[in-house]
Structure 1
Amino acid sequence: MKIRPGAADDVEAIAELHTESWRSAYAGIMPAGYLDGPLLEIHRELWHARLDSEQYLNGGPPSCLLVADADDGGRGVTAFAYLTPQRDERILLDNLHVQPGMKRSGIGRRLMGQGLGWAAAHHPGRPVYLEVLRDNTPARAFYERMGASLSREFVESFHAGFDLDVVEYTWAPEVAREVSAR
Structure 2
Amino acid sequence: MLIRFGTRDDAERIAVLHTNSWLTAYAGIMPTSYLNGPLLDERRTMWNTRLTTVAPEQDHTSCLLVAVEDTALLGFVYLTLQADGRILLDNLHVQPGRKRSGIGRQLMHHAFTWATTRHPGKAVYLEVLHDNASAIAFYRRLNGHPTKEFIERFPAGFELPVVECAWNPDAVRSLADHRSTSDRLAF
| TM-score of the superposed pair, with normalisation by structure 2 | 0.92
Q: Distance in 2 between matches of 1:164 and 1:150?
A: 16
CA contact (8 A) 2:19 2:43 kept: yes
Deviation at 1:60, TM superposition (A): 2.1
Q: Partners in 2 of 1:59 and 1:25 — Cα distance?
A: 29
Distance 1:123 1:57 in 2: 18
Aligned to 2:43: 43
What does residue range 100-119 of structure 1 map to in structure 2 within 5 Å? 100-119=96-115
Distance 1:177 1:25 in 2: 29
Q: Which residue of 2 aligns with 1:13?
A: 13
Q: How far apart in 2 are the matches of 1:52 and 1:110?
A: 26
Aligned to 1:64: 63
CA distance in 2, matches of 1:58, 1:104: 27
Q: Calculate percent identity across the aligned residue pairs.
A: 54
1:13-37: CA deviation from partner (whole Å, max 9, x where unpaired) = 0000000000000000001000000
- 2:58 partner amino acid: G
2:144 is equivalent to residue 151 of structure 1: no
Do the aligned partners of residues 4 and 163 (structure 1) sit closer, same or farther apart at CA in structure 2, a change above 3 Å counting?
same
Q: Structure 1 counterpart of 2:41, which letter? A: E
- Give the alignment's TM-score, normalised by structure 1: 0.94
Q: Distance in 2 between matches of 1:132 and 1:181?
A: 25
Over 3 Å counting, the alpha-carbon distance change for 1:129 and 1:10 in structure 2 is: same
Deviations 1:34-82 (A, max 9, x none): 00002111001001111100xx249922311000002xx25x1110000
- After TM superposition, where is structure 1 displaced by more than 6 Å over at least 4 residues in a row? none
Give unpaired runs (5+ residues) of structure 1.
none
Amino acid at match of 1:9: D
Structural RMSD (CA): 1.3
